[in-house]
Structure 1
Amino acid sequence: MVRKLTLAAMLEIQNPHIFLFRVSCSVDTSPAKSQKTNTISVTYLINTCGLSPEGAILASKWVELQSSERADSVLELLRNYGASQTQISKLIRSHPRLLLTDPEKTLLPELEFFSSLEISKVDLLKTLAFNPKLLEISLRNRILPTCNFLRSMLSEKNVGVVFKLKSWIFLEGHCKHLVPNIGLLRESGMPQPCISFLLTRGTRVLMVNPEKFGQLVSEVKEMGFNLEKSTSVNALCALCGKNKLVLNRSREVLKTWGWSEDDFLSAFRKYPQCMVVSEKKLMQAMDLLVNKMGWSSGMIAKYPVAFGLSFERRLIPRCSVIKVLLLKGFINENLNLSRERTEKQFLEIFVNRYLGEVPELLSVYLSREGRYPGCMI
């Protein structure tokens, strides 16, 4: 007589990880009912949620499914919001207890609220997959109050930007760090537009411990920054956390090119964000501007915005154009490339103006790497 195998038994044969999991349960002292429930959970996490056997076994420690009814409803709701199987797997792997959430009373209100923040469903799902703990915290007690605080200072669009790029702010809330730090900035004279800019682009700075944040503000003042100007916002970001390590490394690298401490501080005051770049980029830019273009190191210190330009896409093409114009005598060597100009401004001043006399100039610029006969730098 041929014995029919159950679905669970067939799964064990096909997947030895589940078999080993059942064996480990059999020698456990926990009740048999719990062992059976965990087996059901592992099977569901693998077959329905797309987790690996190892991931399913780990996740099953946090979720015990008596049946699949509620879990099925949770997954259906996520799919209705456009979640892919990959995103669902990541969500469940990071937050397995999501399967036990009440889809109508808890999950749906949260998804509807997040969807109201002027972000696309694609961005919403990416954010949730990146930070699934957002679905763990209370909508009423944590998310909504923090969102209302942000709305008091930002446009609805920028609230969505903060949620999309700095979603961890909702996990901690606004009371512990944001409120006292923003209060200090207001007392120090920083205007609301600068605070709003910092909140949108440098949120991590405002989440620093208030005592350390006070020291950071004092340091920015001592370096000569006016908190009423937007450059102070960039300075705060540049002096915070890992950025400060990069900044200190930039100081040492530029000293090897002849910069004094005053040169560095002067450059930092003008364009703080341009000084927080990799050592490789600094070396490439200085080699190009000093060794190949012939400009003095001291002149670059006066116009450090060059460090903020993309080396391949902007700095090399611009230098290539300038080199051609220098060779043909249309401009003199005192001209500097490091002044802050938009692409439109640069094209108008240095390319379009000379196309009649140097028709190849546009090709030099568009080559993006200066690979044009006679203009290599």
Structure 2
Amino acid sequence: MTQPRSLVVNPDRFNENIMMIKEMGFDPLKSMFIQAVYIMSVISKSTWEAKLEVYKSEGWSENEILHAFKSQPMCMALSEKKIRKMSRYFVKKMGWKPSVISRNPSIMNFSLEKRIHPRCSVLQILMSEGLIDKDSNPAWALLLSEKDFKEKFVIKNQEKVPKIRREYQNMIGVVGLDIESKELDGIQKF
């Protein structure tokens, strides 16, 4: 019911997809199984192979690709251009290993300009100030809601790093990230 397009494919191909997905270790009773069936139904074998090659060309191992697909099947629905762009940003700009990305594959779906780059800029500032351990895995911060990210990283640290709010504001292009002092009082500092 959630992915009816998956049922429109050739029955032989549908069965082949089901067998392949089961062999990958998907549990047929979980929702990720349905998403995997959908993805395998809407992309051709040649497109699947081409995307595997793109991930591999960006330094991903087969295990990392499989792990990402099992965690977030939509990572194989991304265009080859987006896979390259996101992988290169995380690996070259942020210095992350593909294994970090494969453990958090949902981050590949976000907008580089609107979400990833602004948040990573804040994280880099905090790392340079010693407020975040450089060896930590900050990828989880990209998954937070906008409100939670601002509270945990921008507001919490604006006294220690006064430029952080301005930098984040400039990065996201928002005028008025201004927060009333009474709002600051109600925010827990972790």
* Structure 1 residues 337 and 309: CA distance shift in structure 2, 3 A: farther
Q: CA RMSD of the aligned region, Å?
A: 2.2
Paired position in structure 1 for 2:130: 329
Preserved contact between residue 26 and residue 33 of structure 2 (Cα < 8 Å)? yes
- Identity over the aligned pairs, expressed in percent? 36
Q: Take 1:246 and 1:349, find their aligned partners in 2: how far apart are those partners?
A: 40
Q: Take 1:267 and 1:344, find their aligned partners in 2: how far apart are those partners?
A: 26
Q: Take 2:77 and 2:108, find their aligned partners in 1: how far apart are those partners?
A: 9
Preserved contact between residue 274 and residue 307 of structure 1 (Cα < 8 Å)? yes
1:336 shift after superposition: 2.5
Q: Take 1:325 and 1:275, find their aligned partners in 2: how far apart are those partners?
A: 32
* Structure 1 residues 295 and 352: CA distance shift in structure 2, 3 A: same
> Does 1:354 pair with 2:160?
no
1:266 shift after superposition: 1.3
Preserved contact between residue 64 and residue 98 of structure 2 (Cα < 8 Å)? no
Q: Take 1:290 and 1:342, find their aligned partners in 2: how far apart are those partners?
A: 23
Preserved contact between residue 58 and residue 88 of structure 2 (Cα < 8 Å)? no
Q: Take 2:105 and 2:59, find their aligned partners in 1: how far apart are those partners?
A: 14
Preserved contact between residue 68 and residue 105 of structure 2 (Cα < 8 Å)? yes
Paired position in structure 2 for 1:338: 139
1:10-61 C-alpha deviation (Å, 9 max, x unpaired): xxxxxxxxxxxxxxxxxxxxxxxxxxxxxxxxxxxxxxxxxxxxxxxxxxxx
> Does 1:318 pair with 2:119?
yes
1:202-233 C-alpha deviation (Å, 9 max, x unpaired): 22112223343222222211111011111112
Paired position in structure 2 for 1:224: 25
Please give the residue correspondences for 1:1-377 in structure 2 after superposition, counting only pairs within 5 Å.
199-200=1-2, 202-242=3-43, 245-339=46-140, 340-368=143-171
* Structure 1 residues 227 and 342: CA distance shift in structure 2, 3 A: farther
1:278 shift after superposition: 1.6
Larger Rg: 1 or 2?
1
Q: Take 2:45 and 2:74, find their aligned partners in 1: how far apart are those partners?
A: 11
Paired position in structure 1 for 2:186: none
Structure 1 portions without partners, runs of 5+: 1-198, 371-377
- One-letter amino acid of the counterpart of residue 283, structure 1: R
1:369 shift after superposition: 5.8
Q: Take 1:355 and 1:243, find their aligned partners in 2: how far apart are those partners?
A: 49
1:243 shift after superposition: 6.1
Q: Take 1:235 and 1:356, find their aligned partners in 2: how far apart are those partners?
A: 45
Q: Take 1:249 and 1:343, find their aligned partners in 2: how far apart are those partners?
A: 34
- Alignment partner of 2:51: what SS? helix
1:124-158 C-alpha deviation (Å, 9 max, x unpaired): xxxxxxxxxxxxxxxxxxxxxxxxxxxxxxxxxxx
- When the two structures are superposed, what TM-score results if normalisation uses the length of structure 2? 0.78
1:314 shift after superposition: 0.9
Q: Tell me: higher relative CO, structure 1 or 2? Use CA pairs within 8 A at least 6 residues apart.
A: 2
* Structure 1 residues 355 and 338: CA distance shift in structure 2, 3 A: same
* Structure 1 residues 335 and 256: CA distance shift in structure 2, 3 A: same
- Alignment partner of 2:28: what SS? coil
* Structure 1 residues 275 and 336: CA distance shift in structure 2, 3 A: farther
Q: Take 1:318 and 1:298, find their aligned partners in 2: how far apart are those partners?
A: 20
- One-letter amino acid of the counterpart of residue 217, structure 1: I
Flag as ranges the 4+ runs of structure 1 deviating above 6 A: none
1:347-374 C-alpha deviation (Å, 9 max, x unpaired): 232222212222332332333469xxxx
